[in-house]
């Protein structure tokens, strides 16, 4: 038996017994797929919420602390009466 014949024989063996499809397969798949989508949506919303909260917190901190402003020098004496 050469290769194409062997492959055809195996295909026949694999195909020969029909498998009955249970009727509620579609409903269950839709139920679980919908649950998956809802969970994904919730996770996305939570992520955005967290991101927004982090951005707001950073802005408030930055405005209050002004880390870019140079702090007044504490080592040299202020130059007066010049």
**Distance in angstroms (rounded) separating the CA atoms of residues 28 and 18:** 22
Give min distance, CB of 12 to other proteins, in A.
10
Contact (CB, 8 A) for 1 and 9:
yes
Chain residues binding other proteins by CB under 8 A are 1, 6-7, 9-11, 13-22, 25-26, 28-37, 40
Nearer to other proteins, 1 or 69 (CB): 1
Structure tokens belonging to residue 17: 């017994």
- The token pair at 82 is 């010049």
Q: Quick one: 24 or 70, whose CB is closer to other proteins?
A: 24
């Amino acid at each position: 038996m050469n290769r194409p014949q062997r492959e055809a024989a195996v295909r026949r063996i694999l195909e020969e017994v029909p498998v009955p499809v249970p009727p509620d397969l579609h409903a269950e798949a839709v139920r679980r797929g919908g649950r998956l989508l809802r969970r994904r949506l919730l996770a996305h919303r939570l992520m955005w919420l967290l991101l927004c909260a982090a951005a707001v917190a950073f802005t408030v901190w930055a405005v209050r602390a002004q880390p870019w402003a140079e702090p007044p020098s504490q080592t040299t004496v202020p130059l007066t009466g010049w």
